[in-house]
Amino acid sequence: MADTASVKPPVAAKKSHSSTHHGITVADDYAWLRDPGYPDVSDTAILAHLEAENAWFEARMAPHKETIANLFGELRGRIKEADTSVPQKDGDFLYWIEFEEGAEYKKWWRRPVGAPADASADQLILDEVALAEGKDYFRLGALSVSQNGKLLAYSVDDNGSERFTVRIVDLETGAPLPDEIPGVLSALVWVAGDTGLIYSLANENWRTDNVRLHWLGQKTSSDIELYHEDDEGFRVGSALSANEKWVVIGASDHETSEVRLLPAADPLATPILVRKREKGIEYDVDERDGLLYIHTNDTHENFRLATAPVDRPDEWTTLIAGSDAFYLTGVDLFRDFYVIEGRKAGLDQIEVRYYDDPGRVEPIAFPEASYAAGLGDNPEWAMDTLRLSYESMVSPATVYDYDVYARTLETLKVQEIPSGYDASLYETQRLEIIVRDGTAVPVSIVMRKDRQAGGPLHLYGYGAYGIAMEPGFSTSRLSLVDRGFAYAIAHIRGGDDLGRAWYKAGKLEQRTNTFNDFVDVAKDLIARGHTQAGRISISGGSAGGELMGAVVNSDPELFGAVAAHVPFVDVLATMLDATLPLTPGEWPEWGNPIEDKAAFELILSYSPYDNVRAQAYPPMLVTAGLNDPRVTYWEPAKWVARLRELKTDDNELLLKTNMGAGHGGKSGRFESLRETAEEFAFILWQMGVPV
């Protein structure tokens, strides 16, 4: 382990570089940190710089090794090591997963329905532990059992690049089939009596622009392209309809979608186009008895449910109208009823409805005023009991079965915390904070009941892509809460916590609302006496890392410690580079600065990297992944380099790059906890909180 006496913070070389767009020139002296051979990173100067940053991270964190070890022990102690999911029936088998004591990865099991619940009938169908052995990184992608239950297709990524290799196993003999498909980034869909497998390849720019059919036993070179997407901003995926009669092929970007249907029994048939794409119109489709059920935002931004005959798929008739009060997030069809999921006032709602009685609505009631709930794994078409998931900021994850006809909830499993957890010691609050433009922003908070007012507070935010941050349970955050922190989630605009309008109010030309909301929430929590300026730690990752970068530029004095994980901070340069994997598909979210001068100027005004300036910044821990295809490693590396150059303080600035991982950091349920332990140790150190 390096020590601080022998290692100094790296100073990246400055190499003059600039680009001009719309008559505006932007300098970028650290552009050289992008390896021109990416995704192969072999430039020795770049690798040396990243390794130097890692050495500096190790040196500065070395005195806190004991704290990290203790925190890791706490975090691990709250996870039940030998754990089993609740079995679920699918066809002739019950399926479940198990973690063995000390195992980083799962084992997938099944037994025949009706067989005794003992080891004699249990069949191990996939062993992630064995597959991951000897690998620094392992991630299971898709897993799909054939409809006859005899074959298993699965995909694996062993370097974090999110390019998965598909393999197939004969479950009756345990023998692998010779079929192997590299470079996949998709679900795996069985068709044509389990003789074919539908998938999508990631192209050279990590985009899924295709749907392909592989006949078992044939060479992959003879696989058939069923659909190709010509718009480089769209991504393509496929799935089976709930009744397994149709392959649903969807193409979409962040605001527009288009769906085609193929008979699962005849995947080479001519696809049925449900409705031609129209900018800003999103929809998804399922089918029952010749009638399509279409979840769409065409007449209301909070979505409606429409129907159409399969033979006239573009003739849409409203079944459930869109509503300002109810955000319709999804529809799940079953043989005898269907289920609506949505949010009302930011809280999850689940309703059972009936095909033959449109006015009959049966909401499922939950026991707390603030919670997160949703459908779990419900794989069969004919069901009368629904598997549900439930949690709150004080209630551990709970698995329910809901009897549709008796309208009763049965508790099947409550998350067990081996080291102990007493919910009565904690309280949760849901606040509404009025921000600078008069908008009320919800904030969910959990803390110990005996916490002293004005103590440290951790504020988390994301605010992008219409992804809601639900008020769920976390065993990890207890390591902060039990040390006197309040833990707050700011449900800022850019997510869809309060509906589609909430999302739209934080994207494109309204993007800065996201940053302003977060800052104003922090200021109001101070004003209410929950904490003090400089006593707030903050964290966010990816687009949430962009949020971190923006708020430390605008209001650095508010924050006592910052954790920015794989942060999307070089927004302008990335959105100007159409060769990067995600960029064309991201323009509906951020704007296209190549063609639109106004978008260029707006992104330039907030892009964290471009707005670093000579001022004091709070202590910061930044992470990156060398193989990350979503936020490329050079974004955080460049950002830290510029911060080192310009910041006027002596506060800690650490960059840790995972040299063998991608966007999600290290794999495995325990290895990932080490990074959380490092983050919390950094926060406690910088906030001066006893460990």
Question: How far does Cα 243 stand from its chain's mean position?
Answer: 27
Domain boundaries, the chain: 18-42+51-76+429-687, 81-128
Both tokens of 239, joined, read 């799935």
End-to-end CA distance of the chain: 22
Tell me how long the chain is: 691
Closest to 163 (Cα-Cα) out of 179, 142, 190, 178: 142
So what's the pLDDT on residue 664?
56
pTM of structure: 0.91
Distance CA 462, CA 224 (A): 40
Question: Would residue 3 show up in a list of annotated catalytic residues for this protein?
Answer: no
Contact residues for 84 (Cβ-Cβ < 8 A; gap 6+): 96, 97, 98, 99
- Residue 282 in contact with residue 293, Cβ under 8 Å? no
Burial of 553 (0-12, 13-18, 19+ CB in 10 A): buried
So what's the pLDDT on residue 628?
81
Distance CA 377, CA 389 (A): 9
Q: Which CATH number fits domain 18-42+51-76+429-687: 3.40.50.1820, 1.10.10.1200, 3.40.640.10, 3.90.190.20?
A: 3.40.50.1820
Which residue is it, tokens 């869809």? 496
So what's the pLDDT on residue 670?
84
So what's the pLDDT on residue 99?
95
pLDDT along the chain (691 residues), means of 10: 62 97 98 93 96 97 97 96 96 96 95 90 96 92 96 94 94 96 96 97 90 97 97 94 98 95 97 97 98 98 98 97 97 98 95 95 91 96 97 97 96 97 96 98 97 96 96 97 98 96 97 98 98 98 97 98 98 94 89 98 98 98 90 96 98 94 63 93 97 91
> Which member of 49, 254, 491, 663 is catalytic?
663
Report the relative pairing of strands 559-565 and 536-541 from DSSP bridges: parallel
Half-sphere exposure of 393 (CA within 13 A, CB side): 24
Both tokens of 99, joined, read 């973690």
So what's the pLDDT on residue 1?
40
So what's the pLDDT on residue 235?
94
Question: Would residue 40 show up in a list of annotated catalytic residues for this protein?
Answer: no
Closest to 34 (Cα-Cα) out of 638, 607, 660, 543: 638
Report the relative pairing of strands 139-145 and 151-157 from DSSP bridges: antiparallel
- Residue 663 in contact with residue 628, Cβ under 8 Å? yes
So what's the pLDDT on residue 665?
54
Distance CA 673, CA 76 (A): 7
**CA separation (Å) from 517 to 302, 433, 439, 502?**
22, 9, 9, 12
- Residue 629 in contact with residue 663, Cβ under 8 Å? yes
> Which member of 155, 161, 257, 542 is catalytic?
542
Contact residues for 640 (Cβ-Cβ < 8 A; gap 6+): 53, 622, 653, 655
Residue 270 DSSP symbol: P
**CA separation (Å) from 416 to 163, 394, 419, 478?**
34, 13, 9, 14
Question: Would residue 628 show up in a list of annotated catalytic residues for this protein?
Answer: yes
- Provide the β-strand partners of residue 399: 389, 413
Q: Which residue type sits at 84?
A: T
Residue 493 DSSP symbol: B
CA-based torsion, 53, 54, 59, 60: positive or negative: positive
Distance CA 486, CA 427 (A): 10
Distance CA 521, CA 528 (A): 10
- Residue 86 in contact with residue 413, Cβ under 8 Å? yes
Question: How far does Cα 4 stand from its chain's mean position?
Answer: 36
Both tokens of 18, joined, read 């600039």
So what's the pLDDT on residue 398?
97
- Residue 90 in contact with residue 379, Cβ under 8 Å? yes
> Which member of 28, 179, 517, 628 is catalytic?
628
